[in-house]
A and B are shown apart, each in its own frame.
Chain A
Amino acid sequence: MHSPDARIPLLRRRAFLGQSGLSVGAAALSSLLGRDLAAAATPNPTAGLPNFPHFKPRAKRVIFLCMAGGPSHLETFDYKPKLDELDGKPMPESYTKGQPLAQLQGQALKVQGHLTKFQRHGKSGQLISDFLPWHGKMADDIAIIRSLVTEQINHDPAHTFMNTGTAISGRPSMGAWVNYGLGSLSENLPGFVVLTSTGGRDPQPIASRQWASGFLPSRYQGVEFNASGDPVHYVRNPAGISARQQSALVDAVKSLDRKRNALLENPEIDTRIAAYEMAFRMQTSVPELMDISNEPQSVLDLYGAKPGDGSFASNCLLARRLAERGVRFIHLYHRGWDHHGDLVKYMNVCCSHTDRPTWALLTDLKQRGMLDDTLIVWGGEFGRTPMFQGKGGPGRDHHIKGFSMWMAGGGVKGGASHGATDDLGYHAVQDIVHVRDLHATMLHQLGIDDMRFTVRHQGLDMRLTGVEKTRVVKEVLA
């Protein structure tokens, strides 16, 4: 159990040693601060918890590709011949009786057959739909789970559930948890970065609670990087302030704070000075990071990225750049997957934005030898009904009882298939994977035992994975 503010930042310890001029033995100092000195020896000011990771990690970082709105599993990874057989017929009531429905409440339910074809791909022979030709090329690199279940049927609570393990607002997002536990690997960038892309249609709103730090200290919250305008809020100097002047200002602030602190001995001031130093470095490092125009044309072409366009393709390239620079958790959102109607038309739109760049990201990481320690996760907040919904052309409603996601890299067994839904793709029936199992598996790859990763809040030991028992999906791990 850790109390979220229990740790004294390294710099405080340094400050005690460095500034007091006091020759206290290491043991005395340790007891003085009530903390282990092992952590103090780490050269990183944003070190993780003591004794973390729990065991040898397979992945150092996570790239989570969130397809917001809920892509249809029945048009991506889950092929059900019977669905085509029953196309247009009434949905057998045995599947739907007593089940929650979203927009189809109170309507006659009929089966909607697949709106595309499926092919087998790669040596593994994974079944992947024709909407995703580039996914077909990486069939042997990804492990597809076809038996996900979640608990929330509307977008906002379902996202919150996927990201924080509960639908109750105010809990930390998984990126915040991971940085809190493992610490950051970058001195110049935040450990948890969020990118959202343009394109898609009628995009679902996304709340910043999706990357909040909840009851963890706010330094663990996700920082949103923007493709247009200032890449990070307030990262640009004010008008009329030169780089030289800003640097002189930061130096003066540090000197004045330090001087005052000689009197006050407030350890928080050292943290503050470190924060100013990082802020100042970010003023250079963030614009440099976000400027992809210095990438070779071949790399831009690989992704289909155009500098500054804010596309998913550019964000995938940025994800690789963030990964290279030590960012621990990179969360990409692409919106527009909420296909209540005209599913074919809008699947074509969404897949044209995301299919190739996703392949490019995986390929690029692989070429650079980074896929081995980067865990990639792909999926939405839920799937879509086997039943027809017709707002315009045929579409599907929200569905939580069975849907698909995939994982790759970071110790995942490429080409693996896991779990299954019933013969109409309604209920996950075989090797059911709950969202908390997905979280447990992610943490496991990062070397964390989810059961031992708790934080005291309002008298309870909170976990990302909640109170129920979890199961690491070992079947998809190499």
Chain B
Amino acid sequence: MIRFTAILTCLAAMPAVAAPAPVEFNRDIRPILSDKCFFCHGPDATERKADLRLDTAAGATALLDGHAAIVPGQPEKSALIARITSTDEDEIMPPPESHKTLKPAEIDLLTRWVKEGGTYSAPWAYVAPRKHPEPAVKDTAWPANWVDRFVLSRLESEGLAPSPQTDRVTLIRRLSFDLTGLPPSSRAVEDFLAVPEDQFETAWAVLVDELLKSPRHGERLAAYWLDLVRYADTVGYHGDQNHNISPYRDRIVEALNANMPFDQFTREQLAGDLLPASTLDQKVASGYNRLLQTSHEGGVQAKEYLAIYAADRVRNVSNVWMGSTLGCAQCHDHKYDPYTARDFYSMAAFFADVDEVDHLISANGGPGAKKLKLNELPTERPPEIAVPDRLDRARFAELEATLVRQTAAGQAVNDTQTEIDAIKKRSRLSMIAVALAEPRITRVLPRGNWLDDSGEVVQPAVPGFLGKLDTGERRATRLDLANWFTDAKGGAGGLTARVFANRYWYLLFGEGLSRSLDDFGGQGEPPSHPELLDNLAVSYVESGWDTRALLQLLVTSRAYRQSSMVSLALRERDPENRLLARQARHRLPAEMMRDTALAVSGLLVLDAGGPSARPYQPDGYYKQLNFPKRKYAADSDASQWRRGLYVHWQRQYLHPMMKAMDAPSREECTAQRPRSNTPSAALVLLNDPTFVESARVLAARVVAEGGSSVAERIDFACREILSRPADGEERQLLEKLFTAARAEYHSDPAAAQALLGVGLKAAPANIDAAELASWTAVTRALLNLSETFTRN
């Protein structure tokens, strides 16, 4: 009760809101106009009503029938104000049939805005980021770097203080999950707890550096990248056959582990095939252009699907790099942003050289059809390239040199040739981009209708209001587009940098500075800390697109190290944590949940790359798939225990564990996964063999390594799973569970044996089965706790 009294007192002591600050167009007004007015009075000329447009100052102040919607400084003379405050049903705006209404507070804001001059600003996301001076703060001791100054200055202006640094266990777990996707080992936790207070800062810096350089770091970032670019192991439509693409995923991990500058990364993704003397790795990276869903359902119209594919690519490329919903301009000019339908098709034209027609022609037979293996696994989707694994690649080069030498010397080459053939045979194929000499003609499709050939032919071009590519007479290519995305001076580099700085913030703080991770347009949410986001974007560009440096900057800030505990007062004041007076708390993503269970049990296999892994899966889960019918065979070797990143991604039937934990089907760009809490998820943690096997294998460690008393063993299990020992009450609860299970298994040894038979891993012969099964009751309980799977 004392705690709550304190909170109430503190609530009462909080300063009242000061006199209203001047209205800011982008923060206060644009969201209202965009949501309530632009549908009829916005950029889309074909839908515009009464010739009035409110998305530009010129439009809003133009005289229509002798009245202007906005008369700067004079709300009483402004038709807009008159109409939104009208009580006449025929007059009032927005009209009742739109089901949009303005709240009194919104009307007040609009009125104040007009009174203050009604000035417009360009949409925030399309104004190039610039460097802002670091703000002054009162508490000069708090900031660890400039990020903190922006956070603290805002908090101080709101009369709030940051939360204290969280405890060390939470800190190391937070950092490990955020940077590597894995929990810290109990040993790492022990070492970190032993660091003396005065050496803490150094220890933190060292830990950050270690984790950023861990090979697990690239895997963690790759999981996010693959969501953005919709990587999957299957084609997605109709028969959802497997296609050859896993080397692309492995290449992403390597590039991220090498901290490849993001501008180079972008070039290789969009145009690896167009780079001069492009390497095998670069060609594999160009597989980005092939990640979309495809189909060869009998009866597909090549023309229709080419239109579907083009639109898919525009949606993805604009979502990923520009944080924009250019995809909305497929049928009409964008309703809220200055994108035109022509911009949409001009963007599509960049990809009109990607060779992919073979499988569309082959689906229906007829002239020009190649014999492709379409209804087989994997399906054939030319062009593809053979990708030997790393070790083989070096050996392959050696062998080729040997072959040349042996041939020249007239020696026998049989053995060399056999080995070369063997390597070729075990290489994986990967879909890549290959540019057609003659790109397909791209037309504007009126209202998105692919049957309509009346539209204008367009050339590759970037959205008109964002600039122009300077390629002279030469047709612009995917490489030009990639360069434009990362050119902060003449191109959209500032926008790209802001989009990604915001997403990295999201990965480390639970929400973006702007929570619209994939919509920086007029309908997106302006950032809570615009200057901070600007400076992060600028510094990202200035560092040479050094992603690791950006992450390092963020995780060494004090803002990052804050506690995620929230008082009632703070929850009331800032329920959504837009002011950053605390850290975030959320359930781990699907892959991290799998990896955590496997890691704490000791089962986790850290082999990087290779063909996708197939964990245990319910029988008959693919029964609805056809062409061909599908049989799922779970891995029967160590691949069974690989990281979630490598799990076979079946678009139509994603592994039920992954799906229950909100992993997306990867049909479209996913910048932010939902975080749900469902009975299906509970059933996975309770009963999925992967989790049961992890629990029983960990139980064997508990018995072998956890000391001899029940209390010691419970503490051992807690340290492994939660990074902390149990407290008295927890120990009691778990001991009760253990004792009851032991009684049961002693009287029913067959049940113990059955439990130990779940999963591939053999149970150790030197531990009594009933004992092991009883400890499994304890580890299962711990592997079902919220704490185990929550990043705090």
A residues adjacent to B (C-beta < 8 A)? 4-5, 20-22, 32, 34, 98, 100, 102-103, 105-106, 153-157, 168-170, 190, 196, 202-209, 212, 217-219, 223, 226, 228-230, 232-242, 244-246, 248-250, 252-253, 255-257, 259-261, 264-266, 268-269, 271-272, 275-276, 278-280, 282-283, 397-398, 451-452, 454, 458-460
Asked whether, in the complex, the Cβ of A252 is within 8 Å of the Cβ of B733, the reply is: yes
**Of A154, A242, A271, which contacts B299 at CB under 8 A?**
A154
Q: Which residues of B contact A260 (CB under 8 A)?
A: 785-787
B584 CB to closest chain A CB, in angstroms?
A: 11
Q: Which residues of B contact A249 (CB under 8 A)?
A: 686, 737, 777, 780-781, 784
Q: Which residues of A contact B756 (CB under 8 A)?
A: 240
Q: List 9 A-B contacts (CB under 8 A).
A: A208-B659, A223-B680, A234-B684, A235-B687, A240-B758, A264-B565, A272-B677, A276-B679, A459-B521
The verdict on B301 contacting chain A, using a C-beta distance below 8 Å, is: yes
* B:733-792 near A, CB below 8 Å: 733-734, 736-737, 740-741, 744, 748, 751-758, 773, 777, 780-781, 784-787, 790, 792
Asked whether, in the complex, the Cβ of B299 is within 8 Å of the Cβ of A102, the reply is: yes
Asked whether, in the complex, the Cβ of B729 is within 8 Å of the Cβ of A259, the reply is: yes
- Complex interface bits, B439-469 against A, C-beta within 8 A gives 1, otherwise 0: 0000000000001000000000000000000
**Of A32, A203, A240, which contacts B773 at CB under 8 A?**
A240
A244, A260, A279, A280 — most chain B CB neighbours (10 Å): A279
B300, B652, B679 — most chain A CB neighbours (10 Å): B679
B351 CB to closest chain A CB, in angstroms?
A: 18
B312 CB to closest chain A CB, in angstroms?
A: 9
Q: Which residues of A contact B692 (CB under 8 A)?
A: 238
Closest to A33 in B: B575
**Of B297, B571, B687, which contacts A154 at CB under 8 A?**
B297
CA distance in complex: A246, B298 (Å): 48
B585, B623, B736 — most chain A CB neighbours (10 Å): B623
Q: Which residues of A contact B186 (CB under 8 A)?
A: none
Contact flag A233-B299 (CB < 8 Å), given A205-B627, A239-B757: no
Per CB-CB distance, the 4 closest pairs between chain A and chain B, nearest first, are A459-B523, A240-B755, A102-B299, A240-B754
Asked whether, in the complex, the Cβ of B662 is within 8 Å of the Cβ of A218, the reply is: yes
Closest to B671 in A: A458
CA distance in complex: A266, B237 (Å): 40
Q: Which residues of A contact B4 (CB under 8 A)?
A: 20-22
CA distance in complex: A230, B616 (Å): 14
Asked whether, in the complex, the Cβ of B688 is within 8 Å of the Cβ of A234, the reply is: yes
Asked whether, in the complex, the Cβ of B297 is within 8 Å of the Cβ of A238, the reply is: no
Closest to A449 in B: B99
CA distance in complex: A233, B734 (Å): 27
Supplied contacts A218-B674, A272-B682, A280-B682, 4 more A-B pairs, CB within 8 Å: A170-B665, A239-B758, A460-B325, A460-B335
**Of A169, A209, A234, A452, which contacts B656 at CB under 8 A?**
A234
The verdict on B178 contacting chain A, using a C-beta distance below 8 Å, is: no
Asked whether, in the complex, the Cβ of B687 is within 8 Å of the Cβ of A234, the reply is: yes
Asked whether, in the complex, the Cβ of B620 is within 8 Å of the Cβ of A228, the reply is: yes
Asked whether, in the complex, the Cβ of A242 is within 8 Å of the Cβ of B744, the reply is: yes
The verdict on B55 contacting chain A, using a C-beta distance below 8 Å, is: no
A322 CB to closest chain B CB, in angstroms?
A: 16
Size of the chain B interface, CB-CB below 8 angstroms:
103
The verdict on B522 contacting chain A, using a C-beta distance below 8 Å, is: yes
Q: Which residues of B contact A229 (CB under 8 A)?
A: 618-620
**Of A106, A203, A257, which contacts B366 at CB under 8 A?**
A106
Q: Which residues of B contact A460 (CB under 8 A)?
A: 325, 328, 335, 523
Q: Which residues of A contact B687 (CB under 8 A)?
A: 234-238
A433 CB to closest chain B CB, in angstroms?
A: 21
CA distance in complex: A209, B729 (Å): 45
CA distance in complex: A454, B99 (Å): 10
Asked whether, in the complex, the Cβ of A248 is within 8 Å of the Cβ of B566, the reply is: no
**Of B681, B688, B758, which contacts A275 at CB under 8 A?**
B681
Asked whether, in the complex, the Cβ of A279 is within 8 Å of the Cβ of B665, the reply is: no
- Complex interface bits, B709-737 against A, C-beta within 8 A gives 1, otherwise 0: 00000000000000000000110011011
Closest to A215 in B: B674
Asked whether, in the complex, the Cβ of B786 is within 8 Å of the Cβ of A207, the reply is: no
Asked whether, in the complex, the Cβ of A209 is within 8 Å of the Cβ of B99, the reply is: no
A26 CB to closest chain B CB, in angstroms?
A: 15
A3 CB to closest chain B CB, in angstroms?
A: 10
Asked whether, in the complex, the Cβ of B238 is within 8 Å of the Cβ of A459, the reply is: no
CA distance in complex: A415, B349 (Å): 53
Asked whether, in the complex, the Cβ of A208 is within 8 Å of the Cβ of B522, the reply is: no
Asked whether, in the complex, the Cβ of B667 is within 8 Å of the Cβ of A206, the reply is: no
CA distance in complex: A219, B682 (Å): 12
CA distance in complex: A452, B304 (Å): 33
Asked whether, in the complex, the Cβ of A207 is within 8 Å of the Cβ of B240, the reply is: yes
Contact flag A103-B298 (CB < 8 Å), given A155-B238, A245-B741: yes
CA distance in complex: A458, B299 (Å): 33
- Complex interface bits, B31-54 against A, C-beta within 8 A gives 1, otherwise 0: 000100000000000000000000
The verdict on B506 contacting chain A, using a C-beta distance below 8 Å, is: no
Asked whether, in the complex, the Cβ of B668 is within 8 Å of the Cβ of A257, the reply is: no
Q: Which residues of A contact B516 (CB under 8 A)?
A: 458-459
Asked whether, in the complex, the Cβ of B299 is within 8 Å of the Cβ of A398, the reply is: yes
**Of B297, B668, B751, which contacts A169 at CB under 8 A?**
B668
B627 CB to closest chain A CB, in angstroms?
A: 7
Q: Which residues of A contact B119 (CB under 8 A)?
A: none
Closest to A250 in B: B686
Asked whether, in the complex, the Cβ of B665 is within 8 Å of the Cβ of A169, the reply is: yes
**Of B236, B656, B680, B784, which contacts A253 at CB under 8 A?**
B784
- Complex interface bits, B661-685 against A, C-beta within 8 A gives 1, otherwise 0: 0100101100000101111111110
CA distance in complex: A20, B571 (Å): 14
CA distance in complex: A236, B730 (Å): 27
Q: Which residues of A contact B523 (CB under 8 A)?
A: 458-460
The verdict on B626 contacting chain A, using a C-beta distance below 8 Å, is: yes
Closest to B575 in A: A34
Closest to B366 in A: A106
CA distance in complex: A169, B524 (Å): 21
Asked whether, in the complex, the Cβ of A253 is within 8 Å of the Cβ of B781, the reply is: yes
Q: Which residues of A contact B659 (CB under 8 A)?
A: 208
Asked whether, in the complex, the Cβ of B781 is within 8 Å of the Cβ of A252, the reply is: yes
Closest to A246 in B: B686
The verdict on B414 contacting chain A, using a C-beta distance below 8 Å, is: no
Asked whether, in the complex, the Cβ of B653 is within 8 Å of the Cβ of A208, the reply is: yes
Closest to A99 in B: B451
The verdict on B689 contacting chain A, using a C-beta distance below 8 Å, is: yes
Q: Which residues of B contact A106 (CB under 8 A)?
A: 366
Q: Which residues of B contact A235 (CB under 8 A)?
A: 683, 687
The verdict on B625 contacting chain A, using a C-beta distance below 8 Å, is: yes
Q: Which residues of A contact B677 (CB under 8 A)?
A: 219, 268, 271-272, 275
Closest to A258 in B: B786
The verdict on B493 contacting chain A, using a C-beta distance below 8 Å, is: no
The verdict on B518 contacting chain A, using a C-beta distance below 8 Å, is: yes
Asked whether, in the complex, the Cβ of B758 is within 8 Å of the Cβ of A98, the reply is: no
Contact flag A155-B293 (CB < 8 Å), given A240-B754, A459-B522: no
A275 CB to closest chain B CB, in angstroms?
A: 5
Q: Which residues of A contact B662 (CB under 8 A)?
A: 218
A8 CB to closest chain B CB, in angstroms?
A: 10
Closest to A206 in B: B624
A34, A153, A242, A264 — most chain B CB neighbours (10 Å): A264
Closest to B241 in A: A205
A332 CB to closest chain B CB, in angstroms?
A: 13
Asked whether, in the complex, the Cβ of B451 is within 8 Å of the Cβ of A98, the reply is: yes
The verdict on B239 contacting chain A, using a C-beta distance below 8 Å, is: yes
Asked whether, in the complex, the Cβ of B240 is within 8 Å of the Cβ of A205, the reply is: yes
The verdict on B136 contacting chain A, using a C-beta distance below 8 Å, is: no
Q: Which residues of A contact B522 (CB under 8 A)?
A: 459
Contact flag A279-B754 (CB < 8 Å), given A156-B297, A253-B781: no
Q: Which residues of A contact B740 (CB under 8 A)?
A: 245, 248
Closest to A398 in B: B299
Q: Which residues of B contact A256 (CB under 8 A)?
A: 730, 733-734, 781, 785
Asked whether, in the complex, the Cβ of B667 is within 8 Å of the Cβ of A265, the reply is: no
Q: Which residues of A contact B787 (CB under 8 A)?
A: 257, 260
